[in-house]
Every structure is written in structure tokens, then in C-alpha cells.
Amino acid sequence: MTEGYCLDYDDCPAAGDSRYPATTFEELTYSFQYLSGKNSSGGCTPPKQPSSVVGDSTNSFCIDPTYIAPISQYFADLTNGILPSFVFIELGYGENDEHPGSGNNILNGQVDVPPNGAPTIHCDLSSGDPGTNPDDAAAEQGFAAQLGFRVPNMIIPPFTIAHYAGHNPMDHTAIIKFVENRFIGSSAHLTARDAAQPNLLDFFDFTDVPWATPPAPVADESLGVNTCTPASMGP
């Protein structure tokens, strides 16, 4: 997604920074090595290239496509089996990722394909859950009694240990800790926050590759039920 909330440059106006990638990465000083506006002479300082290399016909910014690329490049690399060792995908931050912010409605992330989709307001706590009773610490102290919002952490094969569930509390910076441990070294960290996180390595087996052979596609036999098909669905 771009700053103009466009998923495709064909849908994006040419004015302003509407075609600029929508990424919080640009808030880091060293990001300007890979993503920036044009220099004083109106060009791009190598290794950055004009943004036409990623589909922006207006060449409104400069980008190093080796490190920052549109989502179409990810799918092309995936198809061709040439993905890099680490890929981070960031889509629509603050707009449709359910992340609260100034003027952003977290319900936007719940909307399905229009025109039928609609956000829903619901309560995530069931009766008896921590926080539902008036004497619970979460009810009395609010955020002060919590690590933060619970975010599902799903690890996808092929290197993940089969049927394994981790129970270590963590936050999003555990992903940074994992990258540091895996590609730099166990002592590497940016701040005290990521240094304190678990490194996620308990989820993986990089030697035996548990899912080197993909499992068979789901079938009626493996599910034990008849699956729905368009032909079997009623009007």
C-alpha cells in the first residue's frame, strides 16, 4: 500500500506523496539509504533508482529495489523459488491493519470485500475470562496489569517443529530478536527491549527441516466431513 492508500499505482493520483510506500521503516534514519525523495539535482543517489523500477510512472521518489520492493515482487520471487532469507511485508499501516492511531479506525481491518463487507463491534471476553470480574487485576488496573493486547503468533513451515506450541510471553520485538540471533549473533540487539525478548528459535528445526515435503492437500477423507463446493451450495 502507498501513502495515498493505493494497492496499485494505476489507482493512485500522481500528486504529492500518494505513490510513496506506506511504511514505518522510513522513520528510521538509515532507511534513507534505501528509500527517499530525489536529491538536490532531481535525481537518485546510487544504489537507489528512480521509482519507475517498482511501477511508479511518475518517478516521484528514489528506492533501492534490492531491499524494498512492491508486493508483486514477493509473489514473483515466491513463484520462482528465489525468496531472500528474510522478508518483512508491511501493508496499509494505520489504515486497514487494525492498528489504532490519529484519525484511524481499527474497524477498517474487519471489512470484507465491498459492498457486502461491514465491520462488527464485539466483545472478545467470555464470561469467566480474566478481566470480566470486578476484582481481577486487569479490571482494576487496566493496561498496568497487562503485557499488552494479545496478538496470535503463527509460525509457518517448512522449518517449524510439527504440532509445537510455544508458551513464552513476548511482544513484536521478538521478531527482531529472532533476526538478530539467526543472522548476526546471540549478543546482537538494538535496544534493551528486543534484548529482553525470546529469540523464537524454539519453534524451528533448521537441520532436519520438518516440512521439507509439503503435507498432502486437505481432502474429505482427511477432514472426515464433506467439504462445501460451489455446486453443493444453495442459492
pLDDT value of position 107:
64
Q: Say if residue 74 is exposed, middle or buried (CB neighbours under 10 Å; 0-12, 13-18, 19+).
A: middle
Check whether residue 76 and residue 138 sit in a common domain.
Answer: no
Does 3 map to a domain? no
Does 1 map to a domain? no
Check whether 94 has a pLDDT greater than 90.
no
pTM recorded for the entire structure: 0.62
Sheet holding 62-63, edge to edge: 35-36, 62-63, 49-50
Range 206-234 average pLDDT:
75
Give the Cα separation of 42 and 233 in Å (integer). Answer: 58
Give the domain extent around 198: 134-215
Residue 82 in grid coordinates: 528465489
Give the Cα separation of 59 and 202 in Å (integer). Answer: 44
Local structure of 87: helix, strand or coil: coil
pLDDT value of position 114:
46
* pLDDT, tens digit, 9 for 90 and up, residues 113-144: 444 456 555 555 566 666 667 776 666 665 45
* pLDDT bucket at 235, cuts 50 / 70 / 90: very low
Range 70-99 average pLDDT:
80
* pLDDT, tens digit, 9 for 90 and up, residues 179-201: 999 999 999 998 888 888 999 99
* Distances, alpha carbon 59 to alpha carbons 3, 44, 149, in Å: 15, 10, 40
Does 119 map to a domain? no
Q: Say if residue 2 is exposed, middle or buried (CB neighbours under 10 Å; 0-12, 13-18, 19+).
A: buried
* pLDDT, tens digit, 9 for 90 and up, residues 145-167: 555 566 778 888 789 998 899 88
**Total number of domains in the chain:** 2
Does 230 map to a domain? no
Does 17 map to a domain? yes
Residues 6+ apart with CB under 8 A from 124: none
pLDDT value of position 231:
59
Contact 99, 117 (CB under 8 A): no
Residue 60 in grid coordinates: 516521484
Who wins on pLDDT, 9 or 39? 39
Does 46 map to a domain? yes
Check whether residue 70 and residue 140 sit in a common domain.
Answer: no
